[in-house]
Structure 1
Amino acid sequence: MGGTMDGTKQRRRGNTRQRIQDVALDLFAEQGYEKTSLREIAEALDVTKAALYYHFKTKEEILVSIFDDLTQPILDLIEWGRRQPHTLETKQEIVRRYSDILADAAPLFRFMQENQATVRELRVGETFKERMQGLRDIMIDPAARMVDQVRYTSAIFTLHAGMFLLQDLPGEAEDKRKAALEVALDLVAQAHRGATGTA
């Protein structure tokens, strides 16, 4: 499930719809969703506004399509997790896979982090919240103590923190991602020990 951001972009350059998504996301991240117009997206693509309209009628349609495409792996992971036993190995694999998903869709998650107010007002905000709740539900054991439920949930958000809060610190992005993953896996192990009463 690995792959780099550049590799994702390379695979996505194949068709016009995906080129529109990539250029729009770059512009949304660079100057903000509200300040980006369909005309600017068309100009950046070197196409007419009518050509852009053939694929998308509004900015929100573009953003929703980006969100749906790049977060589909979260839905796939939730479905996979629901079919697995509630073991430590399963939960650690969920965390590893989610770390890969974040890396593969890094531009989208950065955009969402930096445009939280806008995202909350759009349909993608509620959809993302539902996906995070689905991810939480395959991680936690409802019978676990609250402190262990918080640890399971915190493992997910440790990966987010690794992407956003560490980005301006010195060091390689991949090293920061691995460090965040190590901490997240440790939180899952602690929660599992607490939930099962093992030492």
Structure 2
Amino acid sequence: MVGTMDDTKRQQRGNTRQRIQDVALALFAEQGYEKTSLREIAEGLEVTKAALYYHFKTKEEILVSIFEDLTQPITELIEWGRQQQPSLETKREILRRYHDALVEAAPFFRFMQENQATVKELRIGEMFRNRMLGMRDILMDPDAALIDQVRSVTAVFTMHAGMFALTDLPGTDEEKRQAVLEVATALITEAHQGTHTVAT
């Protein structure tokens, strides 16, 4: 019975943490990170500021927790990619999985895109940079020609830019996402084939 009560408490804490993240991210996106206070987040949750403090002491703690939770699939993907042979099919699979992770975390990446100056000054700026370097390293052959290294890096940034820069183009969101994935895949394919040609 005690175990069941402990499980229930853990679940409640998890649910509260998720609610805090959801409300905070909505406010950050709507008002901007700098203009959002802990008091407003607490009011959005209909709890006291003290109750919010039980889970998070600062706005940055909330933002870091959102980043860590939403980018966990990317962290796992990087670890998986490091253990694979750098074949073309592996690189294409990495892009497919990365595409899915970006779609899942789209509201957060939209916030980061619209608050670049703020993000750069916060801890998540460095954390995000490290994730990008990790993605680069599992997609790029360090012995490739410079143009093929650029293609590999560009494939990653194409996927990010494509999430926000195509809103005025015709087509559904899904069609645009698939088009972006196709372009990124073409870049990584060309980079891999160029590397393969040089190697042989």
Return the TM-score normalized by structure 1.
Answer: 0.90
State the Cα RMSD in Å: 1.1
Shift of 1:21: 0.2
Match of 1:62 in 2: 62
Runs of 5+ consecutive residues of structure 2 not aligned to the other structure? 1-13
Match of 1:100 in 2: 100
Matched, 1:191 2:191: yes
Match of 2:178 in 1: 178
Aligned pairs (5 A) from 1:155-166: 155-166=155-166
Provide, for residues 132-189 of structure 1, a one-character-per-residue CA deviation record: whole Å limited to 9, x for no partner. 0011000000111010011111111111111011124343211111000000111111
The runs of at least 4 consecutive aligned structure 1 residues that moved more than 3 Å come to: none
Determine the C-alpha separation between the residues in 2 that align with 1:49 and 1:90. Answer: 47
Q: Provide closer, same or farther for how the CA distance between residues 31 and 169 of structure 1 changes in structure 2, counting only shifts above 3 A.
A: farther
Amino acid at match of 1:68: E
Determine the C-alpha separation between the residues in 1 that align with 2:146 and 2:20. Answer: 44
Match of 1:9 in 2: none
Higher RCO, Cα 8 Å, sep 6+: 1
Aligned residues: 185
Shift of 1:98: 0.5
Return the TM-score normalized by structure 2.
Answer: 0.90
Determine the C-alpha separation between the residues in 1 that align with 2:29 and 2:117. Answer: 14
- Larger Rg computed on CA atoms: 2
Shift of 1:45: 1.0
Matched, 1:90 2:90: yes
Kindly, what percent of the aligned residue pairs are identical?
72
Determine the C-alpha separation between the residues in 2 that align with 1:51 and 1:174. Answer: 40
Determine the C-alpha separation between the residues in 2 that align with 1:28 and 1:58. Answer: 13
Shift of 1:48: 1.1
